[in-house]
Structure 1
C-alpha cells in the first residue's frame, strides 16, 4: 500500500493498518502490544482475555496482588470487612468467607478471657485454656486467691473463681 508505514516485528513486515489486535481488530501501530502465539493483542484486550480479575473491583490484575480463598485481589482492594482497612501484609483472620483485621475480629467475634476480659484472638501468644463456658489466656489462667499459675496443674472451680489445690484445701 503506497504511503503506508511499514512495521517490523519478529522477522515479519506489516503494513501499519494490517498490524491489528486479534481481539478488537484495531491497528496496533506504535502502541504497546502483547504477542500470544501467532496473534498480537493490544494491552486492554490482552488484560481482558487473559489476566485474572480482582474479586473486588473485577478489573484486571496485572501484577502483584493477594490470593485469599482461591481468589485474587489487588492489594488495595483486599480490605477488612469490618472497618475497610487494607489487609495486605497485615495479620488478619476470617469469619465465614469475610476477612477481618485483628481489631474488628476481636470486637465482633473473639471469645473474652475470664481473667483479663480481653479478646482471645489466636494471634501472638494464642494458646488458651477452656473449661466449661469460660476461656483464659495461658498467662491469665491462675489461682484467683494466690495467683499461682494453673497451667498444667489441677484446679478447682468455685463459682466465678478457680483455685489451686492449696487454696482449695484452706477452705
Structure 2
C-alpha cells in the first residue's frame, strides 16, 4: 500500500504556497492575482491568453500591441491572417480590385499592388485579341503587329485557322496557303 502525499502548490511568481483557487498555465501554478499580463500587468481572467517573446499577454493587449495589422483597414488581426503582396489582411478585406469578391487563400493576380481575381484581371489588363477583341488568357499568336487567339487567326477567304508558319497577307489579314 502506497501513501503518496502531494506537495502543496507553490506560486510561480511569489514562491508562496497557494491555498484556495489555483491558476494552472504553461505547466506552472499561480495565485490568480499573480498570473498577469506582461503589458498591462492586470490579472489574466479566463482561459484565453497569448504567449509572445517569452511573456504572457491578455487578449486585448496582444491584439493592440502584437497582432499583425490589416493592410485593408489598419486594425489588428485576431483571427485568420492572409499574407499576400508582402502585407497582412483580414480575410474579408483581401478582395478583388474589380468585382470586390473575397479572394480567400486562393489564386489571384496583382496589378499595381492590388489583387484581382483571374476573371477581372483578364478583363482589365490582359492583351486583347485582334480578331474577337476578347482577353487573351492563354497562348497567343503574334502576327501582323497584333495578338490573336489561335482560333481567331483565320484565313480571310475560307475562315479556316491559319496554322502554317508561313502565310500570305491581303488587306492586313491572313490568307492560308491554299487561298493565297
TM-score (norm: length of structure 2)? 0.72
Matches of 1:167 and 1:106 in 2, distance apart? 34
Unaligned runs of 5+ in 1: none
Q: Does 1:115 align with 2:159?
A: no
Give the equivalent residue in structure 2 for 1:41: 57
Is 1:73 equivalent to 2:85 in the alignment?
Answer: no
> Given that residues 63 and 76 in structure 2 are in contact (C-alpha distance below 8 angstroms), is that contact kept between their aligned partners in structure 1?
yes
Q: How many residue pairs end up in the alignment?
A: 162
* Distance in 2 between residues matched to 1:101 and 1:36, nearest whole Å: 35
> Is 1:22 the equivalent of 2:38?
yes
Change (3 A) 1:166 1:103: same
> Structure 1 pair 159/63, CA: closer, same or farther in 2 (3 Å)?
farther
Correspondent of 2:153 among 134, 141, 147: 141
Q: 1:52 aligns with which of 54, 68, 85?
A: 68
**Residues 49-83 of structure 1 deviation map (CA, whole Å, 9 limit, x = unaligned):** 43322221223334544332222222221111123
Deviations 1:68-106 (A, max 9, x none): 222222222111112322222555322222222334333
Q: Any conservation in 1 of the 2:109–2:118 contact (CA below 8 Å)?
A: yes
Q: What is aligned with 2:3?
A: none
Over the aligned positions, Cα root-mean-square deviation in angstroms equals 2.8
Q: Any unmatched runs of 5+ in structure 2?
A: 1-18
**TM-score, length basis structure 1:** 0.76
Which structure features the higher share of strand residues?
1
* Aligned-partner Cα distance in 2 for 1:119–1:135: 10
| 1:150 equivalent in alignment to 2:166 | no
CA deviation after TM superposition for structure 1 residue 45, in Å: 1.9
CA 44–160 in structure 1, closer or farther in 2 if over 3 Å, else same: farther
Secondary structure of the residue aligned to 1:83 is coil
The change in CA–CA distance for 1:26 and 1:134 in structure 2 (over 3 A counts) is same
Runs of 4+ with deviation above 4 angstroms: 3-6
**Structure of larger gyration radius:** 2
| Partner-residue secondary structure (3-state), 1:82 | coil
